[in-house]
Structure 1
Amino acid sequence: MSPTPRVAIVTGAARGIGAATAERLAREGRAVAVLDLKETDAQAVVDRITAEGGRALAVGCDVSDADQVAAAVDAVAERLGPPQILVNNAGVLRDNLLFKMSVEDWDTVMNVHLKGAFLMSRAVQAHMTEHGWGRIVNLSSSSAQGNRGQANYSAAKAGLQGFTKTLAIELGKFGVTCNAVAPGFVETDMTRATAERIGVDYAAMKEVKAAEIPVRRVGVPEDIADTIAFLAGEGAGFVSGQVIYVAGGPLS
């Protein structure tokens, strides 16, 4: 258990990496706000946390909407306490080749990943700086290095790396660190959707990916949650502005 019962917000936390992260932080004694587009989707994660004796709150929020973000953060502060840990995990896919990609495809991905991280970080940093302690962890991706059919997603994930480093510079003097975690191939609904988009059997895709990864397996959400938990912890105060690839091996 953490010696300090910090309050954490995890966005996009109804499933996958977000859900694993929310549950991991709760097991460390954090009170966790489970944010997702629909409150009802987040409730199952909250139920699992509370069943184990933890404190959690389901909050419905479109992270790309400034008013909804402000209301969500206010609700968390009122019901759980001032948030001092923020995990910007919310994300969507709108994959397509450049010549087929619509403006809506581009804007949707940018708004959720980049604008969402900006709005959430701006809202939560006020609580962090007031208390002289904070941890922001942004979810980037190995796709930040480029990936066919993901011009929007790759650009957004690369942008989050620059955003991370800038927040680390600006907020460090207030006791706030900011880091990014960049997963490689992880077994989630999003990677399953990618397989469906390109017409590949998901089990076969995982086998191919595992053969390419030095540790000879694909990742699972808990792999990413473990790294996030470290960066969100008391012992990570001298780690800031870093992008950590959690991919089962080095990426060139």
Structure 2
Amino acid sequence: MSRVGVVFGGSRGIGRAVSWLLAERGHRVVVVSRNVEAAQATADSLPGGEHVGLSCDVSREQEVQRAFETITKTCGPVGYLVNAAGINRDALLLRSKSEDMVSVLHTNLLGSMLTCRAALRSMLSKGGAIVNIGSVVGVKGNAGQCVYSASKAGLEGFTRSLAKEVASRSVRVNLVVPGLIRTDMTAGLKEEDAGRRIPLGRFGEPKEVAQAVLFLLESPYITGQVLLVDGGLRLVM
């Protein structure tokens, strides 16, 4: 059955790959990004028709509310929500600026809370599925990424708790945890060196994470789960 799928951070990387797979499955996709031109360009490039691009800063409550008001009016109730928007401001904790810490936490953790709360207004009556995007460093930690790790680790507790809250209303909530994926965030890493640490011997592709997201969105008896898509990286960290 065709649904409206909203993908925050949907104009690039993992979010873009998720948008593509949802469109290929026949769903109507709302691509959300801070950059409305990038969001609309991605929406226009997707297979099928009537996809929408919107601008929204997930860290700002009023912008999230306005985005969902627009989505509901133009597309109808939300069936799928994917939270792939995220930023990093990597630094040792002693060198981290307070404003950077707040920005990371507000975007990566609070932003997902705000979008989930807004999406639930339509999901609670019709059911739906949510997938949040974490990170392997949120599971294992990493020097120089204290704040980023905390923001992603927080998503696990949030995801499990929300899954318990809304299961009786046929809303499922899961977390996908990528490892080193070939995106803008990993562009500065030397892939040949970093790849040696990964049991499967290479970085992952955004589409490989997107396949896991789609699996969880469409699996009717899975909720409150954490699925690592990391090529085995957690095994050696």
TM-score of the pair, normalised by structure 2: 0.96
Residue matched to 1:229:
214
Separation (CA, whole Å) in 2 of partners of 1:21 and 1:15: 10
Pick aligned residue for 1:26 from 7, 23, 40: 23
Is there any run of 5+ residues in structure 1 with no aligned partner, and where? Answer: 196-201
Report if aligned partners of 2:23, 2:48 keep a CA contact under 8 Å in 1. no
Separation (CA, whole Å) in 1 of partners of 2:211 and 2:45: 18
| 1:178 partnered with 2:173 | yes
Residue matched to 1:94:
89
Separation (CA, whole Å) in 1 of partners of 2:89 and 2:229: 23
Displacement after TM superposition at 1:209 (Å): 2.2
Displacement after TM superposition at 1:74 (Å): 1.1
Separation (CA, whole Å) in 1 of partners of 2:135 and 2:177: 4
Pick aligned residue for 1:147 from 122, 129, 142: 142
Displacement after TM superposition at 1:221 (Å): 0.5
Displacement after TM superposition at 1:47 (Å): 1.4
Separation (CA, whole Å) in 2 of partners of 1:55 and 1:143: 37
Separation (CA, whole Å) in 1 of partners of 2:201 and 2:92: 29
Separation (CA, whole Å) in 1 of partners of 2:34 and 2:67: 11
| 1:209 partnered with 2:180 | no
Is there any run of 5+ residues in structure 2 with no aligned partner, and where? Answer: none
Residue matched to 2:44:
47
Residue matched to 1:122:
117
CA deviation string 1:23-71 (max 9, x = no partner): 111111111110001211212211111xx32331000001111111111
Residue matched to 1:198:
none
Residue matched to 1:248:
231
Report if aligned partners of 1:30, 1:55 keep a CA contact under 8 Å in 2. no
Separation (CA, whole Å) in 1 of partners of 2:45 and 2:60: 28
Report if aligned partners of 2:197, 2:233 keep a CA contact under 8 Å in 1. no
Separation (CA, whole Å) in 2 of partners of 1:160 and 1:108: 16
| 1:187 partnered with 2:169 | no
SS in structure 2 opposite 1:32?
strand
TM-score of the pair, normalised by structure 1: 0.90
Superposition RMSD on alpha carbons, in Å? 1.1
Report if aligned partners of 1:29, 1:54 keep a CA contact under 8 Å in 2. no
CA deviation string 1:108-167 (max 9, x = no partner): 000001110010000001111111x11010000001121111111000000000000001
Residue matched to 1:13:
10
Separation (CA, whole Å) in 2 of partners of 1:222 and 1:53: 18
Alignment-mate amino acid for residue 43 of structure 2: V
Report if aligned partners of 2:26, 2:48 keep a CA contact under 8 Å in 1. no
Alignment-mate amino acid for residue 128 of structure 2: G
Displacement after TM superposition at 1:188 (Å): 0.4
1:49-64 counterparts in 2 under 5 A?
A: 49=46, 52-64=47-59
Residue matched to 2:160:
165
Aligned residues: 234
Residue matched to 2:99:
104
Separation (CA, whole Å) in 2 of partners of 1:80 and 1:217: 39
Report if aligned partners of 1:21, 1:222 keep a CA contact under 8 Å in 2. yes
CA deviation string 1:69-104 (max 9, x = no partner): 111011111111211110011101111111100111
Displacement after TM superposition at 1:250 (Å): 5.8
Separation (CA, whole Å) in 2 of partners of 1:151 and 1:129: 35
Residue matched to 1:36:
33
User: 4+ residue stretches of structure 1 with deviation over 3 A?
Assistant: none
